[in-house]
Amino acid sequence: MPFSIPKEEYMMSGHTACAGCGATLAMRYVMKAMGEKTVVTVPASCWAVIPGNYPNTALKVPFIYTPFASTGATISGIREALNEEGKEDYNVVGFAGDGGTADIGLQALSAAMERGHNVFYIMYDNEAYMNTGIQRSSSTPYGAWTTTTPVGKDRVYKKENKKVVADMMMAQKVPYVATASIAFPEDLIKKIQNAKKVKGPKFIQILSPCPPGWYFNSENTVKIARLAVETRIFPLYEYIEGKFTLYKNPNPLPVEKYLEIQGRFGHLSTEEIQKIQENVNKRWEELLDREKGKVIT
């Protein structure tokens, strides 16, 4: 059987991610696509602890730890300095979680993309602050339990919709934007290969399920990531220099299939699930419109 993704590994074993970690799979695939001439920057996030304690490092490339808000800015400086050194062939990658991207790092991200540096910004989206113990981020979806949106007597689960950073990046006309999933590594790697052909900033948002944070058994990480796409909860798309392409699965599953195997949605009523389904349908129509070239408002 031929290997469907590159055999070479740039992420090493012995890292300290939780069993079944989606963010770790995201890094493994991203690095397979990037190759050895790569510099990775991570802010405060799960990936700031996954390599393990000093003196260990988990990637076979330089790996820069930077404070929470500064991924976009740090990769800007690395990129321009490497260019000054004649090292244009290096891939400069920011690899940040959803809190570090959608919340505290959004300003630095948006500015780095606007300035047009030739960098990759990978957002591994596990939909909450997982490293600090499951607090809501603006990328947490509607309906989810987190430790700061607890489901008590008042059922204060997250009542606000997910902020989709990839959509914001398209609104900003970033030259390359894509969403990807750890359940479809071939697609994820293909997207990075496509992104490499674009000179300028590249943004890819990867849904990375989190077993302890989403309350599911660790063997279901890939299954849940797949269901997110199959139920259209997390649509996969690619936007290259203004051209938008949506991956369309012909037989979508009901969102319930995705929600029911995650403890974080366990409290939702039939009506609430219906509301999520309606929102998913509405967003899907909007994405189809975008593909047809209609203006999204």
Partner 1 sequence: MRNMNKNWNIMTGNEAVALATKLAGVRFVSAYPITPQTAIVEKIAEMVANEKMDAKFIEVESEHSAMASVMGSELAGVRSFTASSSHGILYMHEMLNWVAGMRLPILMAVVNRSIGPPWNIWADHSDTMIQRDTGWMQLYGESNQEAMDTIILGYKLAEHKDILLPIMVMQDAFTLSHTSEPVEIRDEMVVREFLGDLNLPFKIDTNRPMGYGSLMPPDGPFMELKMDMKKSMYSAVDRFVEITKEFNDLFDANFPGPVEGFMMEDADYALITLGSISSTAKYVVRNLRNQGKKVGLLRILLYRPFPKDLVISYLRGLKGFGVVDRSSTYGPYGSLYMDVISSIYGKLEIPAANFVAGLGGRDVRVKDFEEMFTKIMEGEEGEIWINVGVK
Partner 2 sequence: MVLVPTAYAPSSNNKTSSWRTTKPVIDYGKCTRCMICWKFCPDVAIGVTQGMNLEFPNERFAKMEAPYIDYDYCKGCGICANECPFDAIDMVQESEM
CB-nearer residue toward partner 2: 18 or 246: 18
- When CB distances are held under 5 to 8 angstroms depending on the partner's kind, the choice from partner 1, partner 2, none that residue 9 binds is partner 2
Candidate segments 21-29, 85-93, 235-243, 282-290, binder of partner 1 by CB under 8 A? 85-93
The tokens of 177 are what? Answer: 């934007």
Among 168, 177, 292, 164, which Cα is nearest to 228's?
Answer: 164
Least distance to partner 1, CB of residue 113, Å: 11
C-alpha 13/C-alpha 27 separation (Å) is 12
Contact between residue 235 and residue 284 where contact means Cβ atoms under 8 Å apart = yes
Q: Is 227 helix (H, G, I), strand (E, B) or coil?
A: helix
CB-nearer residue toward partner 2: 34 or 280: 34
Residues 252-281 that bind partner 1 (CB under 8 A): none
The reply on whether position 15 binds partner 2 by CB under 8 A is yes
**123 Cβ contact partners less than 8 Å away, ≥ 6 residues apart:** 96, 97, 98, 101, 102, 165, 166, 203, 204, 205, 206
Q: Is 118 helix (H, G, I), strand (E, B) or coil?
A: coil
CB-nearer residue toward partner 1: 59 or 169: 59
**121 Cβ contact partners less than 8 Å away, ≥ 6 residues apart:** 71, 72, 75, 93, 94, 96, 101, 109, 112, 113, 201, 202, 203, 204
The reply on whether position 28 binds partner 2 by CB under 8 A is yes
One residue of 17, 82, 229, 259 binding partner 1 per CB under 8 A: 82
The reply on whether position 13 binds partner 2 by CB under 8 A is yes
CB-nearer residue toward partner 2: 55 or 250: 55
Contact between residue 267 and residue 260 where contact means Cβ atoms under 8 Å apart = no
The reply on whether position 42 binds partner 2 by CB under 8 A is no
Q: Alpha carbon 218 to chain centroid distance? A: 19
Residues 52-71 that bind partner 2 (CB under 8 A): 52, 54-58
Task: State the residues that interact with partner 2 by CB under 8 A.
Answer: 1, 3-5, 7, 9, 11-22, 24-25, 28, 51-52, 54-58, 185, 211, 217-223
Note the residues at the interface with partner 1 (CB under 8 A). 36-39, 41, 48-49, 51-67, 69-70, 72-85, 87, 90, 107-108, 110-111, 115
